[in-house]
Structure 1
Amino acid sequence: MAPISSTTVSIVLVHQLFRRLDIATERKDALIQKVGIPPALLAENAARVTTEQFSDLYRLLARETDDELLGMFSRPARGGTLKYLCLSMLQSKNLRTALYSFGRFFRLILDDFTFVVSRQDNLVYIALEPTSPDHPISPFAQGMMLKLVHGVISWLAARKIPLARVDFTYHRPASVSEYVYLYPGPAYFEQPRAALYFESDQLEAPIRQDKGSLRAFLDRAPADWLFVSFAERIISHRVREYLATRLLQPCSIDDVAHGLHISVRTLSRRLREEDTTFQAVKDELRRDIAVQMLIKTDLPISVIGTEVGFHDSTTFHRAFKTWTGGTPKSYRGHHE
């Protein structure tokens, strides 16, 4: 069996989805179970959910509350907000003018912040500016809105637009290594503003979407604008992909460096630049595949352990507990 290597996200993000919503506990549990997340995982701070589960839950909550931004701001973004945002940008000359349209659109519907588009040397940035210094934008809202900007711009261009950098106003989080899977560029923290920076020439690209392709984008939302792969630019993705088909065999950093045609020293340095290590990438891959297989298959837990490179069941259980704070069985729900 060749397991898939799609990523998982922290259960903390699931808690963030509900943080500003007034939903009864019974209804919350029902929605969580509907997307296949065992409610017991909510008590495990290190637990993981698949990107599909997170996206499905987001979509259910947006419909439940008629707020596509899930209570993050003082006014709801009613159903249809993303659709009309995209429609307002489709007539833009290029991505640069589309960014201005993005900012103007949200100025009409939200009061908590404005989007400011400006230049800095050879870079163009779009920044979140709170309308009141007494009401800063939460870290979760910063991340979601910047992901929305990047996701929509990338969709308009029909390709993943690289970032020169991404800035956040909050402290560097313990989970910083996960940012490389969300933002295709270096992340900086404790900055004066939350912003995305693009190379100026990247924004000269024309709009390559139309009303005909918008339906599919909306049907997959928020997955397409939240979780995108940048394997062609990010070394940790390349390491992850190389390891994904070789989990049943011993594979050291020397083996991977040789397979990627770079030196071990260069590989280690580039991974450090992405705030990770070879062992961390390997463990995250095995964790994510194990979670996916526990949720999506009825394979015995011992077989799943073998598939991700553990020939001893006890060792697999111990590693899984370290990775997620829970047992493999807790991800099974009605299975086993």
Structure 2
Amino acid sequence: MPAPRPAAPAAPRPAVTPMAFVRLMVRACEQRGLDPSAALREAQITPAALRRADARISAAQMETISGLAMQQLDDEALGWFSRRLPWGSYGMLCRASITSPRLGLALRRWCRHHRLLTEDIVLHLAADGAGARLWIEERRELGEMREFCCVTLLRYVHGFACWAIDSRIPLREVHFPLAAPRHHDAYPAMFPGPVHFGMPHAGLVFDAAYLALPLRRDERALQAMLQRALPLTVRQYRRDRLLAQRVREALRADTALLTDAAAVAAALNVSARTLHRQLRDEGCSLQQLKDEARHARALELLERSRRPVKQIAAAVGFRNEKSFARAFAGWTGMPPSAWRDAARRP
């Protein structure tokens, strides 16, 4: 029997983080009379790469250079604000929030306690109907640090929120109050959602249902996370604890998705493979959710419209009236026409 072939090595992750952010860290060090060359060498960032306007670095390099720069500056804000945020400042925010029973309270505590660190910016959280919005109010000119500050703060809070509930939190929209930078193509890798520039404030918009989810982390988990907290700002969670509900809402909003699994996945910003796997982890399947949506839509059309059964069958994703009638009888125990007559009987 031939020896098994060794597994192919995993493809290296592409370097997408803009070098522009590293240059700002270097400038912050130099403005304080510090030499950043040792940190750059440890992060394997050469002087030539640092000078290149279009250069990118990997997530691992960003983690290394950010951590070393924070320690060298003794400033977790990396020079954004009018005063330093000493090492451990954001760990304090995590500790102040981790005892909250649900994510909504945790994020409100995060916003409130961030003001104890600096008044240059203020974080706000509001929920309006089904949407939640977290945004940055700038109370001081941030100058050349504005983009780096807004990007990093939003990634901090989003990363913490995902970690705290152990769930991916998809973003409906991400806003930035600046023109699209030269490296705007890096933003989809940094934020899992549509990014809009030229907005009034920097902020995140997401499903308010996530605010009601309980925190799944304790003090021991927090201690372990704080040993390497920076990856939270670049890792995008795969698990989504509200995925089934989001699928239901998508199918309800757009019946064209009932016949196309790839379109459902695209609408939710996940791959088709991830969609099926995560739904299976939640104990359901896309087919079950599609059947639920078809059932609900069929009942609505039969009761509230005079459309022929054949048209209703097509509207809820069936190829013909016969297959629709068979499925409908399985749902309700009677044919569509009989159900319509019973529903309309006084």
TM interval, short-chain normalised: 0.5 to 0.7
In the alignment, which of 2, 22, 28 is matched to residue 9 of structure 2?
2
- Check 1:103–1:80 CA distance in 2 against 1; reply closer, same or farther (3 A cut): same
SS, match of residue 78 in structure 1 = coil
Alignment of 1:67 with 2:72, yes or no, is no
In structure 2, how many angstroms separate the alpha carbons of the residues matched to 1:83 and 1:227?
17
Instruction: State the AA in 2 paired with 1:201.
Output: A
Given that 1:167 and 1:194 are in contact with CA atoms closer than 8 Å, whether structure 2 keeps it comes out as yes
In structure 1, how many angstroms separate the alpha carbons of the residues matched to 2:104 and 2:161?
9
**1:135 CA displacement:** 5.5
- Check 1:151–1:104 CA distance in 2 against 1; reply closer, same or farther (3 A cut): same
What are the equivalent positions in structure 2 for 1:173-322 lying under 5 Å apart?
Answer: 173-224=181-232, 226-229=233-236, 262=262
In structure 2, how many angstroms separate the alpha carbons of the residues matched to 1:7 and 1:220?
21
Alpha-carbon RMSD across the aligned residues, in angstroms, is 2.9
Larger Rg: 2
Normalised to the residue count of structure 2, the TM-score between the two structures is: 0.63
SS, match of residue 96 in structure 1 = helix
**1:186 CA displacement:** 1.1
**1:180 CA displacement:** 1.3
**1:108 CA displacement:** 1.0
Instruction: State the AA in 2 paired with 1:94.
Output: R
Describe the superposition over 1:79-108 as per-residue Cα deviations: whole angstroms up to 9, x where unpaired. Answer: 111221111001112111111101111111
In structure 2, how many angstroms separate the alpha carbons of the residues matched to 1:128 and 1:231?
26
Given that 1:95 and 1:205 are in contact with CA atoms closer than 8 Å, whether structure 2 keeps it comes out as yes
SS, match of residue 5 in structure 1 = coil
SS, match of residue 29 in structure 2 = coil
Q: Which residue of 1 aligns with 2:133?
A: 125
Given that 1:184 and 1:230 are in contact with CA atoms closer than 8 Å, whether structure 2 keeps it comes out as no
- Check 1:81–1:25 CA distance in 2 against 1; reply closer, same or farther (3 A cut): closer
Gaps of 5+ in 1: 234-260, 275-336
- Check 1:160–1:223 CA distance in 2 against 1; reply closer, same or farther (3 A cut): same
Instruction: State the AA in 2 paired with 1:178.
Output: A
Instruction: State the AA in 1 paired with 2:73.
Output: T
Given that 1:66 and 1:76 are in contact with CA atoms closer than 8 Å, whether structure 2 keeps it comes out as yes
Q: Which residue of 2 aligns with 1:252?
A: none
In structure 2, how many angstroms separate the alpha carbons of the residues matched to 1:122 and 1:200?
5
**1:21 CA displacement:** 3.2
What are the equivalent positions in structure 2 for 1:93-132 lying under 5 Å apart?
Answer: 93-132=101-140
Given that 2:177 and 2:198 are in contact with CA atoms closer than 8 Å, whether structure 1 keeps it comes out as yes
Q: Which residue of 2 aligns with 1:139?
A: 147
Q: Which has the higher contact order (CA 8 A, sep 6+)?
A: 1
Instruction: State the AA in 1 paired with 2:13.
Output: S
SS, match of residue 22 in structure 1 = helix
In structure 2, how many angstroms separate the alpha carbons of the residues matched to 1:24 and 1:111?
22
In structure 2, how many angstroms separate the alpha carbons of the residues matched to 1:175 and 1:114?
26
Instruction: State the AA in 1 paired with 2:181.
Output: P
- Check 1:131–1:27 CA distance in 2 against 1; reply closer, same or farther (3 A cut): closer
Gaps of 5+ in 2: 1-7, 241-260, 270-346
**1:142 CA displacement:** 0.7
Instruction: State the AA in 1 paired with 2:234.
Output: F
**1:78 CA displacement:** 0.8
Q: Which residue of 2 aligns with 1:48?
A: 56
Instruction: State the AA in 2 paired with 1:204.
Output: A
In structure 1, how many angstroms separate the alpha carbons of the residues matched to 2:33 and 2:42?
14
In structure 2, how many angstroms separate the alpha carbons of the residues matched to 1:21 and 1:119?
39
Alignment of 1:159 with 2:195, yes or no, is no
Given that 1:33 and 1:39 are in contact with CA atoms closer than 8 Å, whether structure 2 keeps it comes out as no
Describe the superposition over 1:261-293 as per-residue Cα deviations: whole angstroms up to 9, x where unpaired. Answer: 85xxx79xx69x99xxxxxxxxxxxxxxxxxxx
Given that 1:100 and 1:117 are in contact with CA atoms closer than 8 Å, whether structure 2 keeps it comes out as yes
**1:120 CA displacement:** 3.3
Instruction: State the AA in 2 paired with 1:51.
Output: A
Describe the superposition over 1:207-243 as per-residue Cα deviations: whole angstroms up to 9, x where unpaired. Answer: 111110112211212122x21135689xxxxxxxxxx
